Amino acid sequence: MAEPSKPQPTLELVAARAGVSRATVSRVVNGSTKVKAEVVEQVNRAIAELKYVPNRAARSLANGRTNSIALVIPENAAKFFADPYFATVIQGAAVYLADTEFTLTLLIATEADPAKTARYLRGGNVDGALILSHHSDDRSYVELAGSLPMVFGGRPMSNESGELHVVDVDNVAAAATATRTILESGRRRLATIAGPQNMGAGQDRLRGWREELDAAGLETDLIEYGDFTPPGGEAAMSALLERGEPMDGIFIASAQMAFGALKVLHERGIRVPQDMSVTTVDNDSYAQSATPPLTTIAQPAERQGATMARLLVELIGGGEVPERTIIATELIKRASH
């Protein structure tokens, strides 16, 4: 006669074996960080002894969750794959989420149909979203923030929905520090290549440059705009030089644009830093491999990604998180100024 099958272990059995409540076992199984280490060890020992296997599908149905988080980047694929910033932020988010129940889904929201991504997010496919590289015309994501837990990497341009959660660096202060570094070397005829003005980082870095010049009692209209890419920096640098106005220093709003600008300066026989002092933002491969290597403001992109993921998980769990989290930057001095 066959032996009767043993009942499958339950949360209640695990709780009884560990000497804790069912709720505590549930918190441990779901990866909560609010349980004491010794209690986690007790629960995990009971789980191992009873060979308890969490029914994740059942849990998802019960709590209405997908255990999936979207990371949305509203850029075309070519720009996404060319920009090391995105990869570093993604790495930070992925490393943090590896120790949770959540998986990360990458969505490159092309310019052709941004509404398609918004429909996907509204469709209950994910529990929350991380939004990176937000533009002023991507309002659908801001509007979604009222109905889906979201954390933005960088200041959104609009705030129709009220409360938004943002993880960013102080771009105004970063640009001001980079500009002040040029002024401290004795330069007084400063220009800038600003970023796109439909992005918070583009606006804020231009503002920081202006404020630092105002504080020094200097006036200039030597401003051109780029798109945070090397070709954009080349075009803007060429346009500045074609004005024929004297300049001896330039703050460029991203290392990629600065990389392109250096190419133009080299072709025109303008020496850096002897003839032109150059500073920028981003301590990425472009800043480090440029000739000469670029003095820059380093923003910790990996930490930004991890912080965004952590705050989003807390939001999904019903926790309260700050609306604005600012990550410290660092001035890295090299040979370009």
One-letter amino acid at 249 equals G
Q: Both 181 and 257 in a single domain?
A: yes
Residue 62 is assigned to a structural domain of this protein: no
Boundaries of domain holding 223: 171-298
pLDDT of residue 143: 77
pLDDT of residue 63: 59
Percent of the chain with pLDDT over 90: 61
Q: Both 195 and 227 in a single domain?
A: yes
pLDDT of residue 248: 97
What's the sign of the alpha-carbon dihedral 226, 327, 164, 94?
positive
Residue 137 is assigned to a structural domain of this protein: yes
Contact 125, 92 (CB under 8 A): no
Higher pLDDT, 155 or 281: 281
Q: Is the pTM of this model over 0.95?
A: no
Q: Both 219 and 239 in a single domain?
A: yes
Cα separation, 151 vs 116, in Å, equals 19
CA distances from 201 to 3, 63, 194, 197, 261 (A): 68, 37, 10, 8, 19
Residue 6 is assigned to a structural domain of this protein: no
Other beta carbons less than 10 A from residue 268's beta carbon: 12
pLDDT tens-digit series, residues 255-294:
999 999 999 999 999 999 999 999 999 999 999 999 999 9
Q: Both 85 and 192 in a single domain?
A: no
One-letter amino acid at 110 equals T
Q: Both 195 and 276 in a single domain?
A: yes
Beta bridge partners of 208: none
Cα separation, 37 vs 33, in Å, equals 9
Residue 2 is assigned to a structural domain of this protein: no
Give the model's confidence band at 136: pLDDT under 50 very low, under 70 low, under 90 confident, else very high.
low
Cα separation, 299 vs 284, in Å, equals 9
Q: Both 130 and 217 in a single domain?
A: no
Give the model's confidence band at 189: pLDDT under 50 very low, under 70 low, under 90 confident, else very high.
very high
Cα separation, 195 vs 252, in Å, equals 8
Top-ranked range on mean pLDDT: pick from 27-31, 126-130, 153-157, 278-282: 278-282
pLDDT of residue 36: 87
Give the model's confidence band at 1: pLDDT under 50 very low, under 70 low, under 90 confident, else very high.
very low
Residue 2 has pLDDT above 50, yes or no: no
Q: Both 211 and 306 in a single domain?
A: no
Q: Both 44 and 75 in a single domain?
A: no
pLDDT tens-digit series, residues 10-65:
878 888 999 998 888 877 876 667 788 888 889 888 888 887 766 554 555 555 67
Higher pLDDT, 200 or 108: 200
Q: Both 130 and 277 in a single domain?
A: no
Q: Both 232 and 323 in a single domain?
A: no
Q: Both 305 and 161 in a single domain?
A: yes
What's the number of domains the chain is made of? 3
pLDDT, the chain, mean: 88
Return the CATH number at 21: 1.10.260.40
pLDDT of residue 161: 44
Tokens standing for 126? 């994910």
Higher pLDDT, 237 or 161: 237
Return the CATH number at 213: 3.40.50.2300
Contact 83, 259 (CB under 8 A): no
When mean pLDDT is compared across 141-155, 157-171, 232-246, the lowest value belongs to: 157-171
Q: Both 274 and 179 in a single domain?
A: yes
Give the model's confidence band at 160: pLDDT under 50 very low, under 70 low, under 90 confident, else very high.
very low
